[in-house]
Structure 1
Amino acid sequence: MSPVPTTVENRRHTSSKVQSNLPLDAMESSKIENSSSPSEDVTAEQNSIDRKGSQVRDAETSKDDHQNSTQGAASPIGKTEKPVTAERASPDGAHSDKKRKLTDEPAENPALDKDQHRTKRKRLQERLQKNRRRGKTPPSAYSRRDDGPRIQPDARPPRSPSPITRSPSPSAAPIRQRKRPGGGARINSANMEALKRRQEERERKREEEAQRELRDRGVHDVVRQHYNAVPERGREWRKTDSKIKGLRSFNNWIKSTIIQKFSPDEDFLARNNGNGWTGGPPTAPDEEKRLIVLDVGCGKGGDLGKWQQAPQPVELYVGLDPAEVSIDQARDRYNGMRHDRRRRRGNPLYHAEFHVKDCFGESLANLSIIQRVGIDTNIGPNGSLMSSRWGGGGFDVVASMFTMHYAFESEEKARQMLQNVAGALKKGGRFLGVGPNSDVLSAKVVEFHKKRKEQLAAAGAQEADSKEEGKYASEVLEWGNSIYRVRFPRATPEDGIFRPAFGWKYSYFMEEAVEEIPEYVVPWEAFRALTQDYNLELQYRKPFLDVWREEKDDPILGPLSERMGVRSRDGTLMVNEEELEAASLYHAFCFYKV
């Protein structure tokens, strides 16, 4: 018998016969096994309807062919179709045993299968129509398939039509009422003038503060640059060629007198003074308690030799000055004292340290040497009661030689200076120094105004514009001689009382020493009242000429004046009248820390 032709129609016919011969349960099982996933049910049902329709048509055709074959069980064609159909349906030879088994079984009751197919198709069509009415569209067969649930864009929750309300933030401030832009919201003329005045006052204060800072920095820089520029001419030049050598010697003797009288502590004076209370023998220098000295404004170190000759030996000397060149020269002078053994008389040489520091505009608490010795930063009117009673620094003596007048540029600087001084001193410590005498300046101011009034009265020209509202004179006050000069650039008080106590600037000139640098009046009574806030009590104050008259015949200070060139061995004063007039501007003082 000739082989069955393997065409597409034959393969389709064979497949239709196999499917039509399957029982209903097997067909349902096959559909369940071949189904993909729940998410593809709609697509699978549509494809199943098309496939069942073709199977029904193929089953009718195969039914006619099956009735024509009367020898169905022994026919060789039926036996040869199954391997040919299986072989053509799967060219690679990988056949399913289950499929072969189902193919071998003969179809039973094709009419029942046809009714079942029609019932299923109708049920699927009804389901599709119901889904369409519900708005569900079957997905495309070519859409991407995944196992996860699909989120449709319309599945988002609908937006609430009500506006979003936020809870008010808690605030302690009351709710500011809003005003309508009308007459009630406008600022009247009185309020506008007040606002303008406040704005002008704020601007004026800012300008004054900026000018004060600039002026303060300018004065500080001028003074520092001036002393940096003063050349160091040496000891021999000062003794022989200087035009003011008598004044230099006189001022140095005054400073030595203050150091000799007030640098020793009370215990030292009691033990070593023949007229003291103890009456005991003098103590050997090695057994004496040594002093710790702080010199604010030490300059070029001109007082190092004076401290070397102090009655009570010095253990440590700390020199501070804002001028860098002056500090270098002071350090060089101290090193020269260490190497010059011929001039090392009396006490052993002390240890000295020098630092660049503005002692009036800054606190000294940040210097390491000051911290090691000790300083009380709580001293003053804002300090605690315990600090006032038990606090204190570690220095025995604080000296200020010709420097304190720079601190009275402002009250802040004056208080900073006193806080540094009082904070560094221990209980019973001494604050000694020399500076311009405000009594002399006040007397010169009063004398100037008195003479001016007499001249105006004699000339009969008392014009209103020649006075400053009857309180201040507009003319420049100036006096001096060939070696010194004092000049007030602004109006001065007619009564000679400087109010307020700070900021009264004048320019001072000294031949070979000072070139028209700004200085400030130190009203003494105001200064003494200020020192009480820092536990400083005044013990001594005298003008230079009074110090000379009282101490020139002292058994120690008298011979010292001869050695320093103030007077000759026969007692003749070696200071001329102009130099004495220049020296009369200054006074010496000493405070005790209580």
Structure 2
Amino acid sequence: MPAFDPVRDAVLNSPVDQAPTPHPLASPSLARRATDLSVLLNSDTRQPGLPTPPPTRSTLSHLLHTSNINTEEKLAASEPFGRRSSYTDPNSSYFSYQVPSTSRSQIPSPHRHRSPSPRPGSSSRQQLIDSPVSRTSFPSRPSSSSSSTFPPPQTNRNTASPVMVPPPTPPPPTIPYNPTRRLTAPGSVLIPLTPTEMEFYKNFRGQGAARLSKRKRTMSNEPDGANEPPRKKLAGDVGVVVEHYNSRPDVGVVQRLESPILGLKNFNNWVKSVLITRFAHPVLSKGSTSNGYSGPGRGRGGGAGKVLDMGCGKGGDMTKWAKARVREVFAVDIAAISVDQARSRWESMRGPRFDASFAALDCYTEPLSKAFPPAKLAQPFDVVSMQFCMHYAFETVQKARCMLENVSRYLRTGGVFIGTIPNAEQLLEHLDEIPPNAEELSFGNSVYKIRFEERNERPVFGHKYWFYLQDAVENVPEYIVRWDNFVQMAAEYKLYPIYKEEFHQVFEEHQEHPEFGPLMVRMKVVDANGESAMDEDQWEAANIYIAFAFEKR
């Protein structure tokens, strides 16, 4: 028998009823059924009882069966046919190709057009590409999970060469974001903003944005901000003091209770309350009308009187002035941040509160008229208060006089000037007690420390020392206030002393007072049994101060 020929065998193994005369080599068993190969190759098999359809020119049987039509004419008149082949590889992809409807003479040779191999190392696929039948490119197909197929390459029928359409680029593999060291919860990042949030942040101008932006300062209708002088940096000892107090945080009530010197702070506040109650209340109750000034009347809280708080700090005495039922308070301090904190404390006060004006001003070098308009200063003050700050003015005689000018000029006759300052006599006595061979001219305990720079030179003004107080003051320069010199200068401004006591004397005098005794318990200076909340070191630190009161005559 001749060598194996699949086309010939397909014809010979066709069903016997396909031809008028069975082939002599055909198997008798084929008369009962057709093989799979014959079914695939012969699309014109007859069905019993149906008319025989005419053979189409595109079928293989039409091309192979003998007839009167010339073979070349059959090929020329045939429609293009397609063929698909499947391959299994690790990527589960397959390739499809079609032969365009051109004559075999017009098919370009593989040397003129050859597509690269889809996957290197596949020899069978390379042979298929190089075969004359597969002279078009093999577009890649997605993975088997996809149900879509790429269209076959298109051919321009007007030209001999096929026009190849590149396949679409497959999407890159998606790698899920799964960091091994996550700093935030998965739901806290990459969450789109809602329209409400977008509108909010579009118009938001927080504290950080306000600091970065450069804009002109607008005029405010508030009485304390319209004529406020520009803030400036200060050098020397003044700069150290300002920087210290500006850097001190304004802690809340709960954090204040955790202070290691809470007993000392409560005691100092009690002394100031005694001063205000004994000397300020009587004057405030009369108000400025006693000197012929009618004024705008009582304040929003129903109080009377006008107070100048020089060196107001963070507003620690706001509650005391509210209890005194004042009508108006002017709060001034050299530390601008402290002034802002004092304003915030006043704004957060509960219940009816007095009118208040705030300004950042160095009252030891500049007049009050620089911070407040003349209309607001036309009505004089009833009380001027300077608590734990007047000693900074005694750096120079010029500063001391400027301070006294601001106190006296705007204080009415009969008004009082109250305050607290370090006891110069006690400080100088401690300095004299330091041994001559001591490496450092300092004294104190675990709560406070005072260090002098010079033992022998003791000027009236500018006698500097460095002061440290636990949880309050961090090595700030201060100056000795000689009492006799202070009284003499004050008299030049019509200010005369009416009270001067050391803190321990204030305690001894008022501990049994029907009003100030119970006040000590309420302010937690002592408990219900009379036991002090201060230890010995705190008590020693408290007694370096004196309380005073002057009256303008």
TM-score range, shorter-chain basis? Answer: 0.5 to 0.7
SS in 2 for 1:358: coil
Between 297-306 and 284-293, report the one with greater CA deviation.
284-293
> What residue is the counterpart of 1:317 in the other structure?
329
> How many angstroms apart in 2 are the aligned matches of 1:252 and 1:433?
12
Q: Which consecutive aligned stretches of 4+ in structure 1 deviate over 6 angstroms post-superposition?
A: 284-289
**Partner amino acid for 1:479?**
F
SS in 2 for 1:264: helix
> What residue is the counterpart of 1:170 in the other structure?
none
| Alpha-carbon shift at residue 492 of structure 1 (Å) | 3.4
SS in 2 for 1:227: helix
> How many angstroms apart in 2 are the aligned matches of 1:332 and 1:580?
32
> What residue is the counterpart of 2:490 in the other structure?
531
Cα shift readout 1:218-256 (whole Å, capped 9, x = no counterpart): 1111111110101122112212x1110011101111111
For residue 346 of structure 2, the aligned residue among 304, 328, 334 is: 334
**Partner amino acid for 1:421?**
V
Please say if 1:354 is aligned against 2:372: no
For residue 266 of structure 2, the aligned residue among 249, 255, 267 is: 249
**Partner amino acid for 1:255?**
K
Instruction: Give matches, 1:130-169, under 5 Å.
Output: none
Note if contact 2:301-2:354 (Cα within 8 Å) is conserved in structure 1: no
> How many angstroms apart in 1 are the aligned matches of 2:299 and 2:330?
21
| Alpha-carbon shift at residue 285 of structure 1 (Å) | 11
**Partner amino acid for 2:311?**
G
> What residue is the counterpart of 2:242 in the other structure?
224
**Partner amino acid for 2:444?**
G
Cα shift readout 1:501-532 (whole Å, capped 9, x = no counterpart): 10000000011111101000001111111111
> How many angstroms apart in 2 are the aligned matches of 1:253 and 1:328?
25
> What residue is the counterpart of 1:372 in the other structure?
375
Note if contact 1:476-1:490 (Cα within 8 Å) is conserved in structure 2: no
Structure scoring higher RCO (CA < 8 A, sep ≥ 6) equals 1
For residue 432 of structure 1, the aligned residue among 411, 415, 418 is: 418
> How many angstroms apart in 2 are the aligned matches of 1:315 and 1:501?
38
Report the identity percentage: 40
Q: How has the CA–CA distance of structure 1 residues 486 and 441 changed in structure 2, closer, same or farther, with 3 Å as cutoff?
A: same
Note if contact 2:302-2:327 (Cα within 8 Å) is conserved in structure 1: no
> How many angstroms apart in 2 are the aligned matches of 1:299 and 1:308?
17
| Alpha-carbon shift at residue 486 of structure 1 (Å) | 0.2
> How many angstroms apart in 1 are the aligned matches of 2:371 and 2:540?
40
> How many angstroms apart in 1 are the aligned matches of 2:548 and 2:469?
22
For residue 499 of structure 2, the aligned residue among 528, 536, 540 is: 540
> How many angstroms apart in 1 are the aligned matches of 2:234 and 2:441?
23
Equivalent pairs counted in the alignment come to: 311
**Structure 2 residue runs without a partner (length 5+):** 1-232, 288-297
Q: How has the CA–CA distance of structure 1 residues 249 and 289 changed in structure 2, closer, same or farther, with 3 Å as cutoff?
A: closer
**Structure 1 residue runs without a partner (length 5+):** 1-214, 271-283, 376-392, 453-465, 467-473
For residue 517 of structure 1, the aligned residue among 452, 455, 476 is: 476
Task: State TM-score, norm by structure 1.
Answer: 0.50
Cα shift readout 1:445-492 (whole Å, capped 9, x = no counterpart): 2323xx54xxxxxxxxxxxxx8xxxxxxx9642000111100001233
> What residue is the counterpart of 2:408 in the other structure?
422
SS in 1 for 2:281: coil
Note if contact 1:445-1:492 (Cα within 8 Å) is conserved in structure 2: no
SS in 2 for 1:305: helix
> What residue is the counterpart of 2:165 in the other structure?
none
Please say if 1:298 is aligned against 2:312: yes
> How many angstroms apart in 2 are the aligned matches of 1:530 and 1:223?
25
Please say if 1:487 is aligned against 2:451: yes
> What residue is the counterpart of 1:265 in the other structure?
282
> How many angstroms apart in 2 are the aligned matches of 1:296 and 1:419?
12
**Partner amino acid for 1:247?**
L
> What residue is the counterpart of 1:563 in the other structure?
522
| Alpha-carbon shift at residue 366 of structure 1 (Å) | 2.3
Task: State TM-score, norm by structure 2.
Answer: 0.54
SS in 2 for 1:330: helix
Instruction: Give matches, 1:70-89, under 5 Å.
Output: none
**Partner amino acid for 1:217?**
A
For residue 467 of structure 2, the aligned residue among 508, 519, 523 is: 508
| Alpha-carbon shift at residue 216 of structure 1 (Å) | 8.2
